[in-house]
Structure 1
Amino acid sequence: MKDLSNFSPRPLPGASSLPGRLVRLEAYQADQHAPGLAKAVGGPENADTWTFMPFAPFPAGEAFAPAFKSVSIERGWLPYVIIDNSSNEILGTASFMRLRPEHGSCEVGCVAFSDKLKRTAHASEAMYLMARYVFDELDYRRYEWKCHNENLASRRAAARFGFQYEGVFRNDMVMKGKNRDTAWFAMTDDDWPYIRADFEAWLAPENFDTDGIQKISLSSLRARRAQQQQQQQQQQ
């Protein structure tokens, strides 16, 4: 166990840009980003994106910015937009939330990907960039992911991105007139070096062929790492 006798509150997230090879993340600014983000995840055509979120879908057009601002302020989010480096198109959003700098802990949430971003290396790189920022630059101890327990896609994504399942908070919320049980996932600063190594091995250009098809999956790398750690523990 690490000595925390000299631990001090960690800085709040606030970088204006988190650059990557495929995407960059920029701290949300309504005047710059609202129209593109509204197109990516707003409006009735994207309503399914918000099914498992504890608020209504965001509208399209000019109504998006005030609605997104209201929810962000009310819930204490620090939203970022995910931008494709090649096209400069906004493809989605994710926010830092449940900020507890006095404990070195925060959560990633309101993860909303456009159809163009879903199931792509760009999406995985975006989640890697946020985690790297939290652990390597801000020196946090814990990074959380939470979702509706019935949101199987989000649960699978959390595991793929390296978050460990920690259990279910039953009857956690009344959401849209129904009960929500919330599944909790997290990674810690002890986990991060292994998670980072797997992310970087998977995201490396040589892991993709000329058609952009992965040669080895991130899930396979995670499974191989877990097996190696289990073998090491058995040998001790």
Structure 2
Amino acid sequence: MTTNELGQPIGFPVPQWTARPKPPRVPLEGRFVRIEMLDADAHAGQLHAANAADKEGRIWTYLPYGPYPDPAPYRGWVAQMAKSEDPLFHAIIDKAQGRAVGVASYLRIEVAVGVIEVGHINYAPVLQRTSAATEAMYLLMRRVFDELGYRRYEWKCDALNAPSRAAAERLGFTFEGIFRQATLYKGRNRDTAWYAIIDEDWPRIRAAFEAWLAPENFDGNGRPRCRLSEMMRAG
């Protein structure tokens, strides 16, 4: 335990810390996906078409905006978000399909202390539960920790959003608690579940992702031989 000259417990020292860079507006390349900055001309039509497969609008339930049945309002939303610096929106391009099928952003970017959140995650049905979906989250994490040197990467969601909470745990995030009545959206209460990965967690999590994404972990039909959650636990 670290203490001060009065014997009081204090946080451990972080010597020579400097503010971290903001995330750059340059693409991330993986085997399954390319992640690039959201752009209305390039992505709005593709995303709207992919989202339309969700006939019931389930992908919008826990987001503070949407759904967008018509393409024009959705394009307007994409154009507005593409200008934002925080949140910093990305389009997820499935390389096999050659089209945008999802969105994710960095937000609450605190460069002075090295904390950043991933959010506004919206995967069209065709992206959900795919290797591409997992790789996209890995690429965003890798930029935060390996490229930019942040200390903490957060995931927050409505505490009632069971799929999002399961995804956070599968991806290696640690549950840190629930902030009751944290906010309001769409005229209803939200209790917010908090998850995070910190820099000391990252080497183990990175190794699990890399083992899972390795070509030898996939069979001839492109299905993973081992579960990511198993590799996380093994690490």
- Measured after TM superposition, the shift of residue 44 of structure 1 is 7.4
CA, structure 1 residues 106+80, in 2 after alignment: closer, same or farther (shift >3 Å)? same
Match of 1:20 among 15, 23, 30: 30
Q: Return the letter of the residue paired with 1:33.
A: H
Q: Return the letter of the residue paired with 1:79.
A: F
Match of 1:79 among 75, 83, 89: 89
What's the CA shift string for 1:108-161, capped at 9, x where partnerless?
Answer: 001111111100111000000000011110111110000000000000000001
CA, structure 1 residues 41+23, in 2 after alignment: closer, same or farther (shift >3 Å)? same
- Measured after TM superposition, the shift of residue 30 of structure 1 is 1.8
Residue in structure 1 matched with residue 67 of structure 2 by the alignment: 57
- Measured after TM superposition, the shift of residue 174 of structure 1 is 1.7
Residue in structure 2 matched with residue 151 of structure 1 by the alignment: 161
Q: Return the letter of the residue paired with 1:11.
A: P
Distance in 2 between residues matched to 1:128 and 1:37, nearest whole Å = 21
What's the CA shift string for 1:45-65, capped at 9, x where partnerless?
Answer: 362101011223234423212
Distance in 2 between residues matched to 1:181 and 1:75, nearest whole Å = 26
Distance in 2 between residues matched to 1:108 and 1:49, nearest whole Å = 17
Q: How many residues align?
A: 225
2:233 pairs with 1:223: yes
Distance in 2 between residues matched to 1:46 and 1:36, nearest whole Å = 19
Distance in 2 between residues matched to 1:43 and 1:219, nearest whole Å = 28
Structure 1, unmatched stretches of 5+, are 226-236
Contact 1:42 1:57 in 2 (8 A): no
Residue in structure 1 matched with residue 17 of structure 2 by the alignment: 7
Residue in structure 2 matched with residue 129 of structure 1 by the alignment: 139
Distance in 1 between residues matched to 2:68 and 2:221, nearest whole Å = 35
Residue in structure 2 matched with residue 31 of structure 1 by the alignment: 41
TM-score (normalizing by structure 2)? 0.89
TM-score (normalizing by structure 1)? 0.88
Structure 2, unmatched stretches of 5+, are 1-10
- Measured after TM superposition, the shift of residue 2 of structure 1 is 6.7
- Measured after TM superposition, the shift of residue 37 of structure 1 is 1.8
- Measured after TM superposition, the shift of residue 40 of structure 1 is 2.3
Distance in 2 between residues matched to 1:219 and 1:60, nearest whole Å = 38
SS of residue matched to 1:45: coil
Residue in structure 2 matched with residue 182 of structure 1 by the alignment: 192
Distance in 2 between residues matched to 1:14 and 1:25, nearest whole Å = 12
Q: Return the letter of the residue paired with 1:190.
A: E
Distance in 2 between residues matched to 1:40 and 1:2, nearest whole Å = 47
2:213 pairs with 1:206: no
What is the aligned-residue RMSD (CA, Å)? 2.0
Contact 1:82 1:93 in 2 (8 A): yes
Contact 2:217 2:226 in 1 (8 A): yes
CA, structure 1 residues 115+52, in 2 after alignment: closer, same or farther (shift >3 Å)? same
Whose helix fraction is larger, Structure 1's or Structure 2's?
A: 1
- Measured after TM superposition, the shift of residue 73 of structure 1 is 6.0
